[in-house]
Amino acid sequence: MAKQDTIEGIGIGLRYAMARQTLASEVPEIRWLEIHPENYVQRGGRFRHLLEQAAERFPLVTHGLTLGFGAVERAEESYVRPLRDFLAAIGTPWHSEHLCFSGTDGVMLHDLLPLPFTREAVKTAVARIGEARDRLELPIALENVSYYADAGPAEMSEPEFLLEVLERSSCKMLLDVNNVFVNSVNHGFDARAYIDRIPAEAVVQIHVAGHLVRDDDLIIDTHGEAIREEVYSLLDYTLRRLGKVPVLLERDQNFPPFEELVAEVRRLDAIYREATAAWEQAQEPTTQAAGGVQPLHPASGGGGAP
Ligand SMILES: [Fe+2]
- Residue 298 in any domain: the answer is no
* C-alpha 190 – ligand 1 centre gap (Å): 19
* C-alpha 178 – ligand 1 centre gap (Å): 8
Domain of 17, in residue numbers: 10-292
Angle at 54 between CA 47 and CA 250, to 5 degrees: 90
* C-alpha 100 – ligand 1 centre gap (Å): 12
* C-alpha 146 – ligand 1 centre gap (Å): 9
* C-alpha 62 – ligand 1 centre gap (Å): 12
What was the pLDDT predicted at 100?
82
* C-alpha 253 – ligand 1 centre gap (Å): 14
DSSP state string for the chain:
--------SEEEE--GGGHHHHHH---TTEEEEEE-GGGTTT--HHHHHHHHHHHHHS-EEEE-SS--TT-SSPPPHHHHHHHHHHHHHHT-S-EEEESSEEEETTEEEEEEEPPP-SHHHHHHHHHHHHHHHHHHTS-EEEE----SS--S--SS-HHHHHHHHHHHHT-EEEEEHHHHHHHHHHHT--HHHHHHHS-GGGEEEEEEE--EE-TTS-EE--S-SPPPHHHHHHHHHHHHHH-S--EEEE--SS---HHHHHHHHHHHHHHHHHHHHHHHHHHSPPS-SGGGPPPSS----S----
- Residue 4 in any domain: the answer is no
* C-alpha 143 – ligand 1 centre gap (Å): 7
CATH number of the domain enclosing 199: 3.20.20.150
* C-alpha 252 – ligand 1 centre gap (Å): 10
- Residue 44 in any domain: the answer is yes
For ligand 1, a single-atom ion, which residues have Cβ within 5 Å? 176, 207
What was the pLDDT predicted at 67?
82
* C-alpha 201 – ligand 1 centre gap (Å): 19
* C-alpha 174 – ligand 1 centre gap (Å): 8
- Residue 18 in any domain: the answer is yes
* Beta strands 60-63 and 107-113, pairing class: unpaired
- Residue 95 in any domain: the answer is yes
- Residue 190 in any domain: the answer is yes
- Residue 34 in any domain: the answer is yes
What was the pLDDT predicted at 236?
98
Helix axes 119-136, 158-169, angle to 10 degrees: 40
* C-alpha 181 – ligand 1 centre gap (Å): 12
Query: What's the pTM?
Result: 0.89
- Residue 275 in any domain: the answer is yes
What was the pLDDT predicted at 288?
55
* C-alpha 176 – ligand 1 centre gap (Å): 5
* C-alpha 226 – ligand 1 centre gap (Å): 15
What was the pLDDT predicted at 257?
96
* C-alpha 290 – ligand 1 centre gap (Å): 46
* C-alpha 285 – ligand 1 centre gap (Å): 35
* C-alpha 235 – ligand 1 centre gap (Å): 13
* C-alpha 91 – ligand 1 centre gap (Å): 21
Could you give the number of structural domains in the chain? Answer: 1
* C-alpha 210 – ligand 1 centre gap (Å): 10
* C-alpha 236 – ligand 1 centre gap (Å): 17
- Mark the ranges of the chain whose per-residue pLDDT is less than 70: 1-5, 103-104, 107, 109, 286-306
